[in-house]
């Protein structure tokens, strides 16, 4: 299991809920972060205190808990995870999932998520064998839900047959498989992200307003599809996503070196806002006021990482993707940029202030490939990232 994998664990109300405690322990031993969610019925079998003590985090239980909602909305809770695991999954939860019913926090999260879901069913053998449960199971599988177990054996209710929840270690193996599968499994992708800082002297620098949000969302989306991601990031506002190999840099020159050191790769995506120039005469000591005379800065051009990688003659990645943020003539400028830099794709967007895109949570882009431009509707940066990651997966298939 990749250290830093983030599991949202939903514990529903079955006798096997006690095994969820062991599951949490095993997942944390392997470096995973576990965010626990309990249904009301789960609280009849295990206490929130033991669950939160083992997870080392707060347990989420109530859809209408204002503190939790203020800290992290339920939609965000369902999207921050790499995988959602329902263990145990009772017949009731399976039925609600199959129908899209959301009448508590757990089922609302399951309906709101766009992440993969793995269920570990647990119920009495007759409930498992019932036509309704088997119908729900078939529906869930058709919806892409992953299933581990149940196993056959003596049941808490005294009967014998299938319905026992899979053992925690079997669930861990199923989680491992789910996390390491996906269309980008075995592919190595380098993503540059964030701004660069170009020093003027040891305490001052030239920067830009890039938050790193789009590059971070893209790296997370690539990881979710199974890619091995090297995330080369300047000093961004948002933390790096889980599951990537982080290379922190400050300057454009460092970013180029870190990118080159991360090669060979199947794809490189340059989402960083790299400073075009650095200060050539940066001071080694803090610059002092010089009476009325003003300091003078000399500039040198920074290396263009996207162009350098695109124009490699030996070991060029199969796919090189750049971004073009423009305020006018977006398509013309972006198309020219694609040709000039020699990259395969350009993701172009209009960042004029009236679009609210710069610093906002939405994006509206045009993907320019060798086949021409393709306009995508306005959507969140996360959705844009997932759509782009899916396209990258298709291209590298």
Q: Which residues are catalytically annotated?
A: 157
Residue 380's closest CA among 356, 364, 358, 397? Answer: 364
Residue with tokens 């709101």: 112
Residue with tokens 């449960």: 133
* Distances in whole angstroms, Cα of residue 360 to Cα of each of 103, 376, 382: 31, 17, 12
Rounded to a whole number of angstroms, the minimum distance from the CB of residue 274 to ligand C5P is 3
Binding test (CB under 6 A) with ligand C5P, winner from 109, 306, 319, 320: 306
Q: Is the CB of 311 or the CB of 361 nearer to ligand C5P? A: 311
Q: Are 32 and 45 in contact (CB under 8 A)?
A: no
Exposed e or buried b per residue across 5-18, where buried means at least 16 C-beta atoms within 10 angstroms of its C-beta: bbbbbbbbbbbbbe
Rounded to a whole number of angstroms, the minimum distance from the CB of residue 282 to ligand C5P is 17
Write phi, then psi, for 373 (nearest 5 degrees). Answer: -85, 150
Q: Applying CB under 6 A, does 216 fall inside the site for ligand C5P?
A: no
Residue 332's closest CA among 343, 344, 348, 320? Answer: 348
Choices 2-10, 267-275, 371-379, 385-393; region in contact with ligand C5P by CB under 6 A: 267-275
Q: Applying CB under 6 A, does 230 fall inside the site for ligand C5P?
A: no
Rounded to a whole number of angstroms, the minimum distance from the CB of residue 201 to ligand C5P is 22
Rounded to a whole number of angstroms, the minimum distance from the CB of residue 72 to ligand C5P is 30
Q: Is the CB of 84 or the CB of 306 nearer to ligand C5P? A: 306
Q: Applying CB under 6 A, does 225 fall inside the site for ligand C5P?
A: no
Q: Applying CB under 6 A, does 148 fall inside the site for ligand C5P?
A: no
Binding test (CB under 6 A) with ligand C5P, winner from 305, 320, 392, 393: 305
End-to-end Cα distance, the chain: 24
Q: Applying CB under 6 A, does 265 fall inside the site for ligand C5P?
A: no
Q: Are 191 and 134 in contact (CB under 8 A)?
A: no
List the interface residues with ligand C5P, window 323-362 (CB under 6 A): 323-324, 337
Contacts to ligand C5P by CB under 6 A = 192, 252, 270-272, 274, 302, 304-306, 322-324, 337
């Amino acid at each position: 299991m990749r250290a830093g994998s983030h599991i949202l664990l939903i514990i529903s109300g079955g006798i096997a809920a006690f095994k969820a405690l062991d599951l949490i322990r095993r997942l944390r031993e392997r470096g995973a972060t576990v965010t626990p969610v309990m249904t009301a019925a789960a609280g009849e079998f295990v206490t929130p205190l033991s669950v939160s003590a083992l997870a080392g985090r707060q347990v989420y239980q109530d859809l209408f808990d204002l503190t939790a909602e203020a800290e992290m909305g339920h939609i965000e809770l369902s999207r921050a995870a790499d995988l959602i695991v329902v263990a145990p999954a009772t017949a009731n939860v399976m039925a609600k999932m199959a129908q899209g019913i959301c009448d508590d926090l757990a089922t609302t999260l399951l309906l709101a998520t766009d992440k993969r879901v793995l269920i570990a069913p647990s119920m009495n053998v007759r409930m498992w064998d019932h036509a309704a449960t088997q119908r729900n199971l078939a529906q869930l599988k058709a919806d892409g839900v992953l299933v581990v177990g149940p196993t056959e054996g003596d049941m808490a209710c005294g009967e014998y047959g299938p319905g026992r929840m899979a053992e925690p270690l079997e669930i861990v193996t199923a989680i491992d498989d789910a996390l390491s599968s996906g269309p980008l499994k075995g592919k190595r992708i380098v993503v540059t992200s964030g701004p660069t800082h170009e020093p003027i002297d040891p305490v001052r620098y030239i920067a830009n307003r890039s938050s790193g949000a789009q590059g971070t969302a893209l790296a997370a989306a690539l990881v979710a599809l199974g890619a091995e991601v090297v995330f080369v990031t300047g000093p961004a506002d948002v933390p790096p996503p889980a599951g990537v190999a982080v290379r922190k840099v400050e300057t454009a020159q460092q970013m180029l070196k870190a990118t080159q050191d991360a090669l060979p790769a199947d794809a490189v995506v340059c989402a960083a806002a790299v400073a075009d120039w650095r200060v050539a005469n940066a001071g080694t000591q803090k610059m002092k006021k010089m009476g009325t005379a003003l300091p003078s800065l000399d500039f040198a051009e920074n290396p263009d990482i996207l162009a350098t990688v695109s124009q490699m003659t030996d070991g060029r990645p199969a796919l090189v993707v750049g971004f073009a943020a423009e305020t006018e003539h977006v398509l013309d400028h972006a198309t020219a940029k694609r040709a000039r830099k020699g990259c395969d794709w350009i993701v172009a967007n209009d960042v004029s202030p009236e679009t609210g895109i710069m610093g906002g949570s939405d994006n509206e882009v045009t993907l320019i490939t060798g086949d021409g431009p393709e306009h995508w509707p306005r959507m969140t940066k996360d959705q844009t990232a997932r759509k782009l990651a899916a396209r990258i997966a298709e291209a590298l298939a």
